[in-house]
Amino acid sequence: MKRSTLLLCLGVLLSAAALSLSSCKSEYDRILESNDVDAKYKLAFDYFNSGKYTRAAQLFESLTLLTNGTERYDTVMYYLGLSNYSYKDYYTADTNFEQYLKYFPQGSFSEMAEFLRIDCLYRATLRYELDQTPTYAAINAIAEYLLAHPTGANSDICRHWLEELSERLDRKAFENARLYYKMEDYRASRVAFKNILKEDADNVFREEILYYSAMSSYKYADMSVASKQKERFLVFQDDYLNFIGEYPESAHRKELDALYAKVKEKN
């Protein structure tokens, strides 16, 4: 009898709990589906402030239709993006912030929305070995932000990101050219290294690029038929002189000095 009574009580408690949860869910659904702007607005912020960002985002998204053209539209649009951002749905948040800035370029939250959109774009960038299209998108957005807010609250971190992303592009270009060198296609590698500096003289790997250019020209000449070597070693000598002119204290100096001396002996 006691066991039967206990099971009955447990069943009642579980049913009450289920009914309570069902009731809470029903209220959320009811407000979500309603046109009661005030109730929906209040509940959206209640959920946002309690860290329930997915529900907050759903409510704010629903409010965009109801508040369009009103004073609340600015806030609703921004917090829709902020809810998705806080939930770490950066792809959706990027779209939300982009939409916000389209409608409110001078809005109350415009500078922060612009920065958070940059953060979303930055998070979407990939390692240098992979496609760098997202990196270019982030760099362009950062440049626009710094132009508009050179002393903004987030300008320092944007400059740091810009430096990091620019270095990533520099590395990709450098590694792509070095691939020819690793494949022992020295003519192609020298052309590739030279082209990097034509397009970006300030590449952060400039010293390595000039070193590999000189090494490529040396190895290309050394592997050439005898009738072509003299002319091609002259190219190496030019590359060598360019290198030591810029980096006289380089760790590569000793190796290149030895090759230069060897070429001078031959000629």
Q: With beta carbons less than 8 A apart as the criterion, state whether 79 and 105 touch.
A: no
Whole-structure pTM value: 0.83
Q: With beta carbons less than 8 A apart as the criterion, state whether 173 and 136 touch.
A: no
pLDDT at 130: 96
Quick one: tokens of 94?
A: 């990027």
Q: Tell me the CA distances in angstroms from 104 to 109, 144, 236, one per residue in order.
A: 8, 16, 58
CATH classification code of 32-120: 1.25.40.10
pLDDT at 15: 52
pLDDT at 4: 54
Instruction: Parse the chain into domains and list their residue ranges.
Output: 32-120
Nearest Cα neighbor of 104 from 130, 69, 129, 139 is: 69
Quick one: tokens of 99?
A: 């939409």
pLDDT at 25: 60
Strand, coil or helix: 204: coil
Q: Tell me the CA distances in angstroms from 187 to 34, 180, 193, 208, 251, one per residue in order.
A: 70, 9, 10, 17, 24
Q: With beta carbons less than 8 A apart as the criterion, state whether 126 and 134 touch.
A: yes
pLDDT at 9: 47
Report the chain (267 residues): mean pLDDT per 10 consecutive residues.
50 50 68 94 97 97 96 97 98 98 96 98 97 97 96 96 98 98 98 97 97 98 95 97 97 97 87
Which helix (H) or strand (E) element contains residue 176?
Answer: helix 155-182
pLDDT at 1: 46
Q: With beta carbons less than 8 A apart as the criterion, state whether 249 and 223 touch.
A: no
